[in-house]
């Protein structure tokens, strides 16, 4: 996506720090996981849409996926949030990536259910789906394609990272 490793690292750090800060603020209370996920999406848009980072102009669009009712998309897609991220270099070359996210409070995680949700996300996209585990320290991230391997290796969440 971004050839310049320093620029890519700067963008990743900026996003990671902003999201970890939000999750640390919210996860300790009684706030439900969908509220945290919605706020994470909003923070991505508020902090990064239209900004310049590492010499690139960043655009972010997020969409919380419906989880209730007959029109719910979470069940068939296995996802809670979709975000599209694009970067444009000084020459006007733009690269975009869409990502499906299944988010869980780590302490309440049903690993069997999460594995099924990842299976459904992989039917939509093999490379563009991840799991966010909300923890008191921030967000833990694992690719959905790696979840089954890691669960079978150890149910100890510290082995994920």
Segments making up each domain of the chain, as ranges: 5-160
For residue range 19-73, list pLDDT tens digits in order.
999 999 999 878 888 899 999 999 999 999 999 998 999 999 999 887 777 767 7
Residue 63 CB neighbour total at 10 angstroms = 12
Q: Which DSSP state fits 130?
A: E
Q: Which DSSP state fits 30?
A: T
Contact at 8 Å (CB) between 147 and 118?
A: yes
Instruction: Report how far residue 146's alpha carbon sits from residue 119's, in angstroms, rounded to the nearest whole number.
Output: 11
Instruction: Report how far residue 65's alpha carbon sits from residue 37's, in angstroms, rounded to the nearest whole number.
Output: 10
pLDDT at residue 154, as a whole number: 47
């Amino acid at each position: 996506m971004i050839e310049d490793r320093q620029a890519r690292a700067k963008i990743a750090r900026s996003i990671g720090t902003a999201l970890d800060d939000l999750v640390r603020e919210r996860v300790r209370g009684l706030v439900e996981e969908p509220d945290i996920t919605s706020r994470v999406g909003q923070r991505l848009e508020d902090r990064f849409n239209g900004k310049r980072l590492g010499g690139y102009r960043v655009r972010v669009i997020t969409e919380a996926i419906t989880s209730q009712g007959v029109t719910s998309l979470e069940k068939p897609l296995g996802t809670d949030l979709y975000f599209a991220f694009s970067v444009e270099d000084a020459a006007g070359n733009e690269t975009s990536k869409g990502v499906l996210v299944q988010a869980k409070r780590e302490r309440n995680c049903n690993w069997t259910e999460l594995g099924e949700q990842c299976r459904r996300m992989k039917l939509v996209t093999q490379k563009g789906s991840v799991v966010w585990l909300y923890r008191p320290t921030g967000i833990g991230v694992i690719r959905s394609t790696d979840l089954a391997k890691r669960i079978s290796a150890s149910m100890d969440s510290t082995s994920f990272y």
